[in-house]
Copies of this chain bind each other. A is one copy, B any other.
Amino acid sequence: MLINPVPNFTTAQTGPLFPFETTILNALMPIESWFRQSWKNTPAPLMSSVDLRHAGFKLAPVDTNLFPAGFNNLNPDFMPLCVQAIQSTLGSQCQRLLLIPENHTRNQFYIQSFKVLRDILLTAGYEVRLGHLQSDVKKTIELQLDSGETLLLEPLIREGSRIKIGTYDPCTVILNNDLSSGIPDILLNLEQRIEPVAELGWAMRLKSGHFAYYDQVVNEFSALLNLDPWLINPLHEAVHDIDFMAKIGIERLADAVDRILQRIQQYYQHYAITEKPYVVVKADRGTYGMGVMVVQDPNQLLHLNRKQRSHMAKTKGNQNIHHVLIQEGVYSFESMQDGSVAEPVVYMMGSYVVGGFYRVHRELGINDILNTPGMHFEPLAFAQPCNIPNLRTDRPHPTQRFYVYGVIARLAALAAAREAAALRGLK
């Protein structure tokens, strides 16, 4: 008798596994071997988190974050996995680290996550100093934790092609700041290693670029498993030169949405899925769920009111939105027994899956976007890590689904690794 470690989690309890999940579980060995070769070609990002949506018939990443927060939501029992993974990934080349958080943050959740990240690096036996990118502030900034503890963010100085804190000369700079407002001068043309490369900050990175690499990765992976790529990949299309306020390009956008909806409908028919297709239109740059909307009918776009248009016009850091990504909406059919919608988020350090949690929303529907500003969610830490499935697929067990999460999340991380490699090649 297996003990279920995820209380109240409906899909995990009531499996059977969906066919594509069984396909993945039965191919653990070729999958792990393929990942090993893939990471050899393009090293994994130092850290990443991937938001997944599981519609039952389909499981897909909807966002890949290279500046993850939320480490405080992971199961504390997995900290040893994080420590080991970071040791394996950082290796012995560099002992002195500089870690840089978001600017101007008073968000306790973020500060707690940042502290957990700092502690993982310290426990792994690296020297860690914290620096801030607020060039207008020449002194140390104190981040207060509710626990009473204080984190000291020291001012950074530039000396030649190196960044330092006083005489502290780090060999690796770890960005936990997504650079939404652009790459600050102090980070330009550094000879020190930066993880991730600053060009992967949201000021330059395009979601459509990421998903183009994801298409590549999924096509290779699906060929290996003889799997329909659509089952793990949301359809998408980028639309450029839009101005929501000036109503420029909106018809073009509506046409593209219509195309994607029709393609989704074809897949739904093929797989006898009776749900109504929908898409998510989101800023091609940017994060934090700003500038995002759900569309089931292209006509919606032609009749946006001023408030809706202004919602779509700006993203984090007051950046204007001119390029959007249309992404196939993936229903979230994972829910708690009380009906709340749950969305898994998987965390990786290097090539290793180190844990995850569910964003559980008590008031949202199955096609709502679960990561939007001010949106309340309760984190439910995975009770088990994602790297050790129960190998017997005839006996459903939550670790099996967790393993599948970890596979899809790693595909997204591999796409990010290829983005980074392409940028490093260009530099």
Q: Which residues of A contact B (CB under 8 A)?
A: 28-29, 31-33, 35-37, 39-40, 77-81, 83-85, 87-88, 91-92, 95, 119, 122-127, 352, 384-385, 387-389, 391
Contact = CB atoms under 8 A, between A and B. Distances in A.
Contact of A127 (B29, B39, B95, B388): B29
A29 B129 CA distance: 13
Given A31-B125, A33-B125, A40 B388 contact: no
A238 to B, nearest CB: 34
Contacts of A389: 123
A40 B91 CA distance: 9
B125 A28 contact: yes
A83 B388 contact: yes
How many copies of this chain does one complex carry? 2
A407 B391 CA distance: 33
Given A88-B84, A123-B389, A77 B79 contact: no
Given A29-B126, A33-B125, A39 B80 contact: no
Given A35-B125, A80-B387, 19 more contacts: A28-B122, A29-B125, A29-B126, A29-B127, A31-B125, A32-B87, A32-B126, A36-B87, A36-B91, A36-B92, A36-B125, A40-B92, A78-B80, A80-B388, A84-B88, A84-B352, A87-B352, A123-B387, A123-B388
A33 B171 CA distance: 14
Contact of A391 (B39, B85, B123): B123
27 contacts: A28-B122, A29-B122, A29-B125, A29-B126, A29-B127, A32-B87, A32-B125, A32-B126, A33-B95, A33-B126, A36-B87, A36-B95, A36-B125, A37-B92, A39-B92, A40-B92, A78-B80, A79-B388, A80-B384, A80-B388, A83-B388, A84-B84, A84-B88, A84-B387, A87-B352, A88-B88, A123-B387
A39 B122 CA distance: 19
Nearest to A29: B125
Contacts of A32: 87, 124-126
A292 B85 CA distance: 40
Contact of A385 (B33, B80, B127, B384): B80
Nearest to A124: B32
Contacts of A35: 125
A292 B391 CA distance: 42
- Shortest Cβ-Cβ A-B pairs, 9 listed: A32-B125, A36-B92, A88-B88, A80-B385, A80-B388, A33-B95, A40-B92, A123-B388, A80-B387
Contacts of A85: 84
A84 B406 CA distance: 13
A119 B391 CA distance: 9
Contacts of A88: 84, 88, 352
A389 B83 CA distance: 11
Nearest to A354: B84
A392 to B, nearest CB: 11
A88 B349 CA distance: 12
A96 to B, nearest CB: 10
